[in-house]
Amino acid sequence: MDVLRLVSFLRIPSWLLLGLACLLWFAALGFVALWPQHPTGARQLRWKDANGQPLASAPTSCGRDGRFPLLAQQNRVWVPCLAAPDLPGGGIALLQPSRGEARLLAPLPEQLSLERVEGLLPGTGGLVGLVYRASTRTSSPGGVVDVLVAAVMNEDGWQVPPERLPGGAGSRLLGLGWSGHRLEVALAPARGEDTRAEAADAVLVRVGDAELPLTITREEMCLYLPDCIVRAAYRAAQAGWRFLLEDGGALREVKESGASVMEGQSLQVLAGLDLRVAGRLRPASIPPTHRLEPDGSILPSEPPPSGLRPLPSPSVAEGSRLVPLSRSRPEQGPGVIHEWEDQHWHTASGSDGSLRVGGGARPLATVALLDGPCTHLSSGFLVPLRRGLTLLTPEGCHVGLTGSGQRTDPLNLLEHLERSRVPHAVPALLWILLGLPLLLLPAGLLRWPRESERRLLVSALLACCYLLSTLPLISWLLPLLS
């Protein structure tokens, strides 16, 4: 009878303990449900080499090329990595934010190390054509000369491995073009005393095809004019190659056959001409005044907005077209301005260490926290990908955004705690979320003890154990979750 009286006396405290434990458990579940609205750190890509083996860190030289820092193509981002001590030959990195992975293509050979990207042109089927300037050792005085190298790549790696193009040091790239799935390169090779290739013929090379090059002589293009210099070339839609010539202070355009297409343009047009159609981009500090279109027409370019300082800008692949985006820093005020077509975005870092994003006329709003190696993400590259917008750095820090500027990929609680690198933080959170059901469910399912009063007392004791173990864990975890 005394035991029964004791059990009956403890009924109210037992229900109270169970209620408190359940209340705490439901509060923890509610915190988890509301967590996605809490700003979290940026995501970081996992780096791998060409064989799929993990890398300790990103190469230090990726994204350092001033004209071609990166190219966005569907859900892929191509980043040239210049030759550096940790990557002697340089290379090309493929960033895939949707997979959380960054991978280096097979490293470039040290004898053809990547010094500067000269041309980059997307093709069909995910192909990308590349022409870069390399430093190679020779037995001649000085020991090192620069040459042009071409290659073709896609997400599976090098489709055509890097190969040296004709001509010696001083050879000039005229343009890139696609013939179906084959990359063609037009260049003016430097030979002998013509170290600047100003008296050179034009050579068409089909990359990966030993049967081409095809030489189009300077006499054929210039019609024996003595002051003619071939300055650029592009592959016109359904019309083959066309060449832009400097002819006695004027700009002239001719076909492969030598027939004149356009005459009478001022040579000043050439000095400020945007040659993106030929896979060539200008330095960000020298904005174009005119733009060459695929049909051969030359149109005025919009002047850059005042009050902004141009920065190296990303490019986007639209089919086989190269579309550079505008990226600049305000002369007054924080952050970076990103513009293309009808899009206008502003990214900046807040005084509280947050990443703030605003689109159009919308004010800046916090979307993420800047921590660890991602503290400079606010000055990264904003590019449109297949699933929305992505703000990223060449090192692999990235944040996904919707068209209205809201974040699409916040870290969940477990990912957030893993990033904190505090031992036992994840098991502690799992115990807070799962501990009470793990303690109470076995006794309830087995209906042990059989008497309901005693079963209530056992459940209360288990709930008390949960409360005593969980409250210290919550006070320990809260600073990590703030």
CA distance 429 to 424: 9
Biggest alpha carbon–alpha carbon distance for the chain: 122
Please state, as a whole number, how many other Cβ atoms lie within 10 Å of the Cβ of residue 360. 11
Q: How does DSSP classify residue 364?
A: P
Give residue 12's pLDDT. Answer: 67
293: which 2 tokens?
């279109």
Do 75 and 385 touch, CB atoms closer than 8 A?
A: yes
Give residue 381's pLDDT. Answer: 96
Give residue 109's pLDDT. Answer: 87
Give residue 34's pLDDT. Answer: 66
The label of the residue with tokens 């975005």 reads 345
Give residue 148's pLDDT. Answer: 92
> How does strand 43-44 pair with strand 397-401?
antiparallel
pTM: 0.83
Q: How does DSSP classify residue 106?
A: S
CA distance 161 to 37: 46
In three-state secondary structure terms, 110 is helix
206: which 2 tokens?
């089909």
Q: How many residues comprise the chain?
A: 482
pLDDT along the chain (482 residues), means of 10: 52 75 82 71 93 91 90 93 91 94 91 91 93 74 73 94 85 91 89 66 84 76 74 82 81 70 66 89 86 84 84 91 90 90 91 90 90 91 90 95 90 78 82 84 68 74 86 83 68
> How does strand 290-292 pair with strand 273-274?
parallel
Cα 220 from chain centre = 43
Nearest to 359, CA basis, from 405, 301, 424: 405
Give residue 1's pLDDT. Answer: 45
Cα 325 from chain centre = 13
Give residue 316's pLDDT. Answer: 93
Give residue 14's pLDDT. Answer: 74
Element at 328 (helix H, strand E): strand 326-330
- What φ, ψ does residue 386 adopt, rounded to 5°? -65, -35
Between the alpha carbon of residue 349 and those of residues 203, 353, 376, the distances in Å are 49, 6, 8
Nearest to 41, CA basis, from 337, 353, 284: 353
Give residue 258's pLDDT. Answer: 57
pLDDT in tens, 281-319: 888 888 888 888 888 788 888 887 778 899 999 999 988
> How does strand 71-73 pair with strand 315-318?
parallel
Do 5 and 446 touch, CB atoms closer than 8 A?
A: no
The label of the residue with tokens 């500067």 reads 116
Q: How does DSSP classify residue 196?
A: T
Environment class of residue 472 by beta-carbon count within 10 Å: exposed (0-12), middle (13-18) or buried (19+)? exposed
